[in-house]
Amino acid sequence: MKTSNTINTDISKGSIWFSLLNVIFCVWLIIRGSYDLTDNYVYQRLTVLYITIITLSFSILAIFYLAHKKEHPALFYSFHTVIFLMGLLWAVIIYILLNYFNDTIISLNLSIITLLPATIAFYTMPIALILFSAPIFFILIFSEFFLRDFFTGLQLTGGVIILFVVTTAYYILAEWYERATKSERENQTLIKTLKKTSDYDSLTGLKNRRSMHSCFESIKNRIPADIFIYAFVIDIDFFKQYNDTLGHIAGDKCLVKVASCIKNAVRKDTDNVFRFGGEEFVILATGNADFDPYELAGRIQSTLKLMALPHPSSAVSDYVTVSIGGAKGHDQLSFDTLIQQADIALYQAKEGGRNRAEIITSNKP
């Protein structure tokens, strides 16, 4: 049996449609009965049953409303209880009409009218469909054996046909639902894959340049006033010479290792790393007044130094090094301006001899 965490899915909009259909049909039967039923006692009994079904129908609407407000196992069981009671009441109505009109066609038609909407509404809820249908089928079989004066084997065949129609309709709808659900899951998986492909760099696995702006806006909107955004632009020193000397395959491997180094050096909960393009990387970080951007830059350089990637063509070291430019943002500073300031700081770091960091922190609103 399904648990309460599936109640919002189970008690679906189809249940609302089924409830409203029962209300409309019962109102119509009450009006119609006032003309067709000459026995006032029978009419009163049926009217009480119709009104009870209407009340239960509104109970389903209430359960549907509560299921979207909170999840509780009692709602799940209450829903099934109400559905069973409705099926039981329709079975009693069919039995009364069988005795009153002495015509099984009416009862069979009423069975079809009640069972087919239930099949449509509850094709994703087999328990609800069984609870609703069982009393009706029971009364049809019971009538065949105990009301033989007017219920013939031919009518039993009609009941079997109804059962066949309801069962096949249920399986057709259930199969369609399963296919639609599977297709929806596949589409969602494809969308996630495409989004990841579009937002992430295929070589390094880092977020790419395309996703930086949205990430910046997201950070800017959620941080309090005493927290600042920092942008760092990181460039691998003499990377062109590295490629020319060792080849592009080695260059790609170097990019992957440097990307891994940067990811390991940053703070996992506050910093976001991107591949900016070529041999450049960007970090969007946050920090309060005590945050030291030079400490983060130094940690990146120290981690890379420990990795000790040989660089035979570097003019500053025997190993791969990076130059880092950083800038401090504020509420009125745009993303493009912040990156431009970090680029200026990177240029200063390169002019200062590379393998170093420069941070611009004077960007005041």
pTM of the model: 0.54
Burial of 11 from C-beta contacts in 10 A (0-12 / 13-18 / 19+): buried
**Between residues 356 and 210, the one the model is more confident about:** 356
Is the distance from CB of 104 to CB of 159 less than 8 angstroms?
no
Q: Residues 51, 53, 90, 112: what is their CA dihedral angle, to the nearest 10 degrees?
A: 110
Question: DSSP H helical segments within the chain, as ranges?
Answer: 7-10, 13-36, 40-69, 73-101, 104-121, 126-146, 153-199, 212-222, 239-246, 248-265, 293-307, 335-351
Strand partners, 357: 324
10 Å Cβ neighbour count for 289? 7
Residue 236 has pLDDT above 70, yes or no: yes
Of 14-28, 143-157, 164-178, 304-318, give the range with the top mean pLDDT.
Answer: 304-318
Range 127-144 average pLDDT: 85
Structure-token pair, residue 111? 């069975």
Percent of the chain with pLDDT over 70: 88
Of 113-122, 156-165, 244-253, give the range with the top mean pLDDT.
Answer: 244-253
Sorting pLDDT into bands at 50, 70 and 90, what band is 2?
Answer: very low
Q: How far apart are CA 63 and CA 299, in angstroms?
A: 57
Of 220-224, 233-237, 238-242, 308-312, where does mean pLDDT reach its minimum?
220-224
Range 237-250 average pLDDT: 95
Q: Which of 118, 123, 116, 128 is nearest to 180 (CA)?
A: 123
Distances (CA, A) of 81 to 76, 150, 167, 238, 243: 9, 33, 22, 75, 73
Is the distance from CB of 126 to CB of 2 less than 8 angstroms?
no
pLDDT attached to residue 8? 45
**Between residues 36 and 363, the one the model is more confident about:** 36
Q: At what angle do helices 40-69 and 13-36 cross, to 10 degrees?
A: 170
pLDDT attached to residue 60? 85
Range 162-173 average pLDDT: 76
Say whether 235 sits in a helix, a strand or coil.
Answer: strand
Please report the sign of the dihedral spanned by the C-alpha atoms of residue 266, residue 268, residue 272, residue 277. Answer: positive
Structure-token pair, residue 335? 């993303």
